[in-house]
Amino acid sequence: MALTSLEKKNQYAILTIQRPEALNALNEDILTEIHGHVEELNSDSSIRGLIITGAGEKAFCAGADIGQMASFNPEQAEVFARKGHKTMNAIAGSDLISIAAINGFALGGGLELALSCDMRIASENARMGLPETGLGIIPGFGGTQRLARLVGPALALEIILSGTQVKSDRALQIGLVNQVVELAELLPTVEKLMGTITGKKGPEAQKIARWLVHSGLEQPLSAGLEREINEFSQIFSREEPRIGLNAFKEKKEPDFSGS
């Protein structure tokens, strides 16, 4: 039986991890399913956004399956880590605009899954952390790299080395999440934001801006700024600026659906 579900809505899809009895812990099958869903959505031109959440009211995802890891030798650990990275990279590297709806615990690989998304919105009961060092292991699905890039090295090290569970209000304060809302309001809030994002903006402009932000983090500021100038000029060879700028002049809503 599938351990994840995918619901397609207007322009976006909701991927839910369906293993609440194990707090939605990630085993190999779940990683494979998530990767498969992302690939399917990549090939569906009607879908531009991806929301990831966990079933139940207690957990987004409590991490990699600890039971599965207990007997690993180094080779098996590498296979599992590579599989996790492949899945997280598929999310981060796809053109899908992604939001993690964190509905409870997001620990270890669960937080790393949320970190592979563009944005994170958490419920008030959410607890986030990288408790791996308490298990004698390290974050292995991208946490050491993505968390430090998001909140800076000092806060990332505090979270990684202490294993502390970060509550929602602190997560908001340090920029780990974009918003905190009541649990009942979580999906409506995330869907509303996704609807705004996928609604009336220029899809090509969004794709390029998103790529500039992500790729800019991997290069010197001067190179990123130069890329921005190039992309800004190149976009004027496209249809979208004409639609958007003329609509503003004519005091109309832009219609990018045919661009």
Binding mask 79-118 for ligand CO8 (x = CB under 6 A): -xx--x--------------------x-xxx---------
- Binding segment for ligand CO8 (CB under 6 A), chosen from 18-26, 32-40, 150-158, 203-211, is 18-26
For residues 166, 178, 89, 156, the Cα torsion angle rounded to the nearest 10 degrees is -40
Pick the binder of ligand CO8 from 49, 54, 131, 254 (CB under 6 A).
Answer: 131
- Does the protein bind ligand CO8 through residue 12 (CB under 6 A)? no
Range 214-233, binding ligand CO8 (CB under 6 A): none
Half-sphere exposure of residue 6: CA atoms within 13 angstroms, side-chain side: 17
- Contact between 140 and ligand CO8 (CB under 6 A)? yes
Q: How far is the CB of 105 from ligand CO8 (least distance, A)?
A: 4
Taking the CB of residue 13, how many other CB atoms lie within 10 A of it? Answer: 22
Report the C-alpha gap between 226 and 139 in whole angstroms. 34
C-alpha span between 64 and 143 (Å, rounded): 12
Beta strands in the chain, from DSSP E residues, in sequence order: 4-8, 12-17, 49-54, 59-61, 97-102, 105-107, 119-123, 127-129, 166-167, 179-181
By CB under 6 A, is residue 64 in contact with ligand CO8?
A: yes
Annotated catalytic residues are 112, 132
Report the interface residues with ligand CO8, using CB under 6 A: 22-23, 25, 62-67, 77, 80-81, 84, 105, 107-109, 131-132, 135, 139-141
